[in-house]
Structure 1
């Protein structure tokens, strides 16, 4: 399995415990899955956090 899939599955499993809190559990599930997918993409090397933070702070442009 790809690290992205593993990260999403890990986020879903961790978020399962949050499901007992109704709507807030749903929001936490979505958050955990998104974080898991992001970390999985970083493990694959498809996301470079340094370049993302540089772009957000205005240090580097995409053009």
Structure 2
């Protein structure tokens, strides 16, 4: 599945949730999608949580 196909599916899910349930439900669905994406990246080993937390705290490693 290409990146553009995934984007279209996510957009369709958000649009349907906005029309059906309203704005705040769409925001909740968007947050759930982002959390699911993050968990998937961690499980695949493509997202380093330690590096991410260091970056968010302002620590840098060169």
**Aligned residue number for residue 31 of structure 2:** 31
Aligned pairs, how many? 45
Structure whose CA Rg is larger: 2
Normalising by the residue count of structure 2, what TM-score does the alignment of the two structures yield?
A: 0.60
Q: Distance in 1 between matches of 2:59 and 2:34?
A: 26
Greater relative contact order structure (CA < 8 Å, 6+ sep):
1
**Aligned residue number for residue 5 of structure 2:** none
Normalising by the residue count of structure 1, what TM-score does the alignment of the two structures yield?
A: 0.59
Structure 2: gaps spanning 5 or more residues: 1-12
